[in-house]
Amino acid sequence: MATILEMRGITKRFGDVLANAHVDFKVEEGTVHSIVGENGAGKTTLMNICYGLYQADSGEILINGKKVEMKNPSVAIKNGIGMIHQHFKLIPAMTVAENVMLGNEPRKNKIFLDLDRLNGQTGELSEQYGLAVDPKSLVADISVGIRQRVEILKALFRKANLLILDEPTALLTPQETEDLFHIINRLRKDGKTILFISHKLKEIMQISDRVTVSGR
C-alpha cells in the first residue's frame, strides 16, 4: 500500500512549550488512520503543521513521496489535503452551495453568478459521496452534523484525497456520530484517506484501520 503522507522529525515549539518533539509519522493511502492522545499531547498541532497553518521549526513533509514546503493552507490544498476543524469555518448567512464553492463560483459570461450550476454541482458532489445535503439551505438553518458535512464537501470540491478530521465528534449527537462514520466508510471505499484525531478510544477502535498514540 502506497504512503500518501510522511512527516519526518517534526519539531514545534511555542515559546518554552515543546508541542512536537522529532515526530515521525506515516499514513498509508486509502486508510482511516487515527491519532489518539490526551489534551495537550500535540496531535492537533501536528495536523495544523500538515495543513500549513503552522510551520515546523524542523523536519520535513512528504506527499506521495515528494518533499513539500507546507508554507500555508493553499499549498496543502494544492497537494490534495483538506482539513475539517472542530469549529467550522462557514458563513452562516450564505447557502451550502455558496460556502462550498466560495472563491470558485461558476459564472455566466464571466460576470454573473450561475446559481443553477452552483447548486447543481454541489448537489452532484453531495450525492456522489452520500452526504445528503441540500445545496440551497442557509448554513444558519442547518444542524451541527449537516454543517460538518458541508465542510467535508468543501474539501472534496477542492479535490482533497487526504482529509484531516480534528475531534470531529466533539459537538455531535450519538446519531450524528454514527452518520459521520457511515460517511467516512464511504469515503474510504472511494479511495480517500482519512486522518481521524480524537481522544475517544471507543470511537477510535470502531473506525480505524491504524492508530498512532500521541504522548507528551
Which residues constitute the domain of residue 192?
3-213
The pLDDT assigned to 2 comes to 94
Q: Per the structure, how many domains does the chain have?
A: 1
The pLDDT assigned to 188 comes to 96
d(CA 199, CA 183): 20
The pLDDT assigned to 216 comes to 59
**Predicted confidence (pLDDT) at residue 64 exceeds the cutoff of 70:** yes
CATH number of residue 183's parent domain: 3.40.50.300
The pLDDT tens digits for 153-175 are 999 999 999 999 999 999 999 99
d(CA 89, CA 68): 25
Tell me the average pLDDT of the chain: 92
The pLDDT assigned to 25 comes to 92
d(CA 202, CA 209): 14
The pLDDT tens digits for 22-34 are 999 999 999 999 9
The pLDDT tens digits for 68-88 are 999 999 999 999 999 999 889
d(CA 99, CA 122): 10
The pLDDT tens digits for 118-167 are 899 999 999 999 999 999 999 999 999 999 999 999 999 999 999 999 99
- Hey, is 36 helix, strand or coil? strand
Q: Kindly state the percentage of the chain with pLDDT values over 90.
A: 81
**Residue 129 DSSP symbol:** T
The pLDDT assigned to 106 comes to 65
d(CA 114, CA 27): 39
Instruction: Record the pTM.
Output: 0.91
